[in-house]
Structure 1
Amino acid sequence: MTSAELDDNLFELILPKKITDFEISRVVDVPNNRIFNVMADVENFPNILPKNILSVNILNKTENVIIAEEEFSEAGIKTKLVVKHTIDPYSKHTIEIIDGDAKGTIIIQSFEPIDSQTKLTTNVHLDLHGITSVVSFLPESNLVHALNTVISHFVEYSKFDIYERTVDSIYQQILNRPADNEGLLHYSTLLRAEQITEQDLREILLNSEEKSMKVKAIDELDNQTKITINDLYEKFLLRAADPEGLKHFGNLYENGATYEEIRNILLQSDEASTLSTQHPVRSEIMIAYNLLFDEFPNRTVVDHYHKMVDDGYPLIPNWVKNIFKWRQTAVISDAESSNAIRFLYNEGIIIIDEIPSNDKLLEYKNLKK
């Protein structure tokens, strides 16, 4: 393998592979007209996917086309997109992002009736920019899993009857969460039997202990929660958490937000962006990247490797960086370069198994032996 080929393949190994197109297909146990009506009911998306679609504002609507401003949330990152929905009843739903950080992304959903079931095929073309661009670098298996999860929510919702949908909708409005199974069964049964009205259910939830719960003060937060939030601030903002941040993120953490979600929020903050050249970890990432690829990484790439370091991946040591720096002067042999590659593989910084098995990359496969 030549020096140039080794450099090209190293670049491919270390940088995440960008995904632009993929397709999934599955048969769902719901009649064609029912699943289509649910998946084409754009205004109801926040009720079906409350954690991911925060709001839908219809901008224009004709018989078969809906243009809406939709606010999305994923891993603590929020973004607004203008989305065009073209609806061909019971056969196709085309979703096109026409403005925002995902402008150019197109999702085509095809519905094929099979007796009382439906074959649902989804073709995805991703064109992501800005804060959404990191999604393109997730493994395709992660994207497929996420899309299947979304489809499963639509399938589950499509099986609700009118009473269950009413209960779920009222839970969303008052408690800002989907109805749990126990509440869904209990209150839909009462509504169906006309033992309570929708207004009765609203009053029950408005007077519930869950609704009346107040945000915890700092001294009411668990000690481990405060340690976790302070640790996140120290790692990513190089300071202790201020009282407002400690209270805000502490309550988020104790109400179900994950470490990774809060980490992403801090990484995307304006304060974090001003620390890129001062933060020791981020500076080291930028130096290592520049030595390996002779260019400086953008913020998305730095964020990606900062998360890796926080998850336990080691920073690239000087001896590895020096090998690639010296290789440019032909002082270092391919064998020594292979030692450096082997180190990156053994430490989990690169994943050999994801490399296509062809002759050009055989040398990398042999590193596993």
Structure 2
Amino acid sequence: MKIAFYGSSLLSSYWNGAATYYRGILGELARRGYAITFYEPDAFDRQQHRDIDPPEWCRSVVYPATDDGLRSVLAEAGDADIVVKANGVGVFDRELLEGVTARARPGALRIFWDVDAAATLDEMRGDPSHPVLRALPDLDMVCTYGGGPPVIDAYQGFGAAACIPVYNALDPSTHHPVDPDGRFACDLAFLGNRLPDREARVEEFFLRPAAALADRSFLIGGNGWETKDMPANVRHRGHVYTTEHNAFNATPLAVLNVARDSMAAIGFSPATRVFEAAGAAACLITDAWEGIELFLKPDEEVLVARDGQDVADHLAALTPERSRAIGQAALARVKAEHTYALRGAQVDALFRDHFAGKREAA
């Protein structure tokens, strides 16, 4: 079966945290025999900050972020058995969603894949003309990369025919334990771009502990932080390429995960970074959110913090021995239950069940 996937970027994680998620899911589907084309715009300097070359398992189409570029890729939607529009492309989001649903051939599976469901649902609640809300009657399903029962109920309440979470996961071939790298040596590291609905939580869960523990060292990676006032014991790395993630996670005494406001509020939304850190056998400290125990066991496979004081307390009590034990336990858990091979099998079964149901109905 042919998949036409319209997303932000497969080739670059620059201002694009969904890149490794797309690679993991689609790479597994390709191994199961799907012929995949990924369409991404040449926008936001992503092509100047590629992490990977176009993979052998996928046809990669980078189109100009122009009206002509949009028309050229929409023209190919009718060739696919499965047409997917992901949210957050950043340019022509409305036109892409309307275009691919309209141009998909009869019988094709039409999917909206939401990698920021909590934010999308908030927008839909405030805008009766929201493009996703308008598209739902023409979609066969919505897939999300998190959200659990709250997101499923909300999407179905808006009229989605089906809403299926396909959670982030680990690709052990790309994220795995490595030797420490002095560039990332510190007591606590955090990796994430500076975003409006994340910044206050970074201040609470990362900068507050740094100010309280002046004798400990902290490292922050990601775009946008260079203009942020920070304590003297915090170093800023800027963009950290995917190829550097293993060393970034494996070197510090502990690694911090901080959810964005909307994801923390709705729960059941582990970020890609959670599984990447666990895959590198990092000792992960995460802010508290509902559903964490479905992915990692608190106090044994992950340390959970309700606020910045909890982070400081965890870090003050953490020994290298306990850090290693937690990291190894997390690695074992995600390799057993949360790999992209398992997510790929889930999506493959989902697609096949859909087409089998349509054949039976005919």
Normalising by structure 2, report the TM-score. 0.24
TM-score, normalization by structure 1: 0.24
Q: Report the structure, 1 or 2, having the larger helix content.
A: 1
Higher Rg:
1
Identify which of structures 1 and 2 has the higher relative contact order when contacts are C-alpha pairs closer than 8 Å and 6+ apart.
2
